[in-house]
Structure 1
């Protein structure tokens, strides 16, 4: 019997069948939009990367116009850890991630992009670093080495990362890397807004957590095309950047809480 879960910040309801009797240790969340060509192969790679671990795999289909949803559902028998959630309306990458994280049953969440450019084989190492770290370590992010993007995209990212890092002081060299491992509880403490996925390190630091980064592989896109443009990223990033700066200015950290 499927259960209904309500996002308190949305009218949307999603249903799913429980794939496992007990909660897993890791939830891998992947937002996808029109990735019929990439998603099935990516799901198999994730299954191989996390084999032997207690995990679930949650693809969030952001109202794709192609056969992404059907292609993923066809893998249900092959990959019992797979869950597919579907938005009724296209809502963007950040909302897709939030949908998956709200549905996640594990205390540790791994996210990666649905286009296949992030290498799932790097995910377990990020999880291990997070779990082995101190309790205040909330996020271990990937930093892409030898990026397989166009020169224009790499140049725009280098400028954007430099400006953001200088203004937000978030220590992240590559906040656009979709491959991250973090504590679900810590994410749910953050104020939600569209494009939040680009600012997770800064927002985690704002809450008093620690963040770390590890080098990860980056691959050529094998199928489909990017859903973003450099100009579109620039416009969104400028407004979001000032919003995050405002959030930082309003934060007051108690430095810890003691029960007496």
Structure 2
């Protein structure tokens, strides 16, 4: 089975469209699928909407954080509560579409982690530039070979996801953090769409500062990772 994680922070305007898109996807999903909304301390009507969806549809569940803790924490909470063999992640803004999960799922079980690469980005100039700068900085440090590590459409084996070391800002480094486990990673191109409702919560300031700090943390983790091989056992 497959669980789709949907972190939500003040996305009330977009949630009805997202709910409908997810219901449409469930009709064609490559695997039996459920959806787990993670309310990240929203101050708008997001939680009320998520609760109503969960009451109306058995395939929808939710958890709600006491206050806003950021995307990495929301993802960590969702992963901790996932019980299916596979999980995926999508943003609530519908700039990536649920139906494209099937493109990623087609590479299971051969790969442990499959991530999208957004083509024809439909973002503002500022968001495109900030994303490009952040990806360039991350790639210089991590050497993960991926040009769009922050694409909000991913599929991962749950047992791999539960071993990811999460810190603030870790969501921007998921492929590199997964690679610390010496597992197989695949990146494929997916369509990208213009945000119709709501607004982005990220920009240059909250991308680059945290990302740069985490680059140094990642290097320390990579260099000090504990590995060993057992040659004899009694």
TM range (shorter): over 0.9
Alpha carbon RMSD of aligned pairs, Å?
1.9
Matched, 1:217 2:194: no
Deviations along 1:136-164, whole A, 9 cap, x unmatched?
x3210000011111122212212221221
1:227 alignment partner in structure 2: 201
Structural mapping, 1:5-84, within 5 Å: 25-51=1-27, 53-76=31-54, 78-84=56-62
2:102 alignment partner in structure 1: 124
Q: Whose helix fraction is larger, Structure 1's or Structure 2's? A: 2
1:99 and 1:74 map into 2 onto residues whose CA distance is: 21
Displacement of 1:254 in angstroms is 4.3
Matched, 1:141 2:115: yes
Displacement of 1:244 in angstroms is 0.7
Distance 1:142 1:198, change over 3 A: same
1:196 and 1:42 map into 2 onto residues whose CA distance is: 25
Displacement of 1:227 in angstroms is 1.1
2:188 and 2:232 map into 1 onto residues whose CA distance is: 32
Structural mapping, 1:86-235, within 5 Å: 86-131=64-109, 133=110, 137-235=111-209
Q: Secondary structure at the match of 1:194?
A: coil
**TM-score w.r.t. length of structure 2:** 0.92
The farther-off stretch of 42-51 and 200-209 is 42-51
| Preserved contact between residue 161 and residue 174 of structure 1 (Cα < 8 Å) | yes
4+ residue runs of structure 1 moved beyond 6 angstroms?
255-260
| Preserved contact between residue 89 and residue 155 of structure 2 (Cα < 8 Å) | yes
1:12 alignment partner in structure 2: none
Higher relative contact order (CA 8 A, sep 6+): 2
1:256 and 1:45 map into 2 onto residues whose CA distance is: 49
2:19 and 2:41 map into 1 onto residues whose CA distance is: 18
1:258 and 1:196 map into 2 onto residues whose CA distance is: 37
Consecutive unaligned residues in structure 1, runs of 5 or more: 1-24
| Preserved contact between residue 110 and residue 179 of structure 1 (Cα < 8 Å) | yes
1:150 and 1:207 map into 2 onto residues whose CA distance is: 35
Number of positions where the alignment pairs a residue of Structure 1 with one of Structure 2: 232
| Preserved contact between residue 31 and residue 62 of structure 1 (Cα < 8 Å) | yes
Q: Secondary structure at the match of 1:75?
A: helix
**TM-score w.r.t. length of structure 1:** 0.83
Displacement of 1:238 in angstroms is 0.6
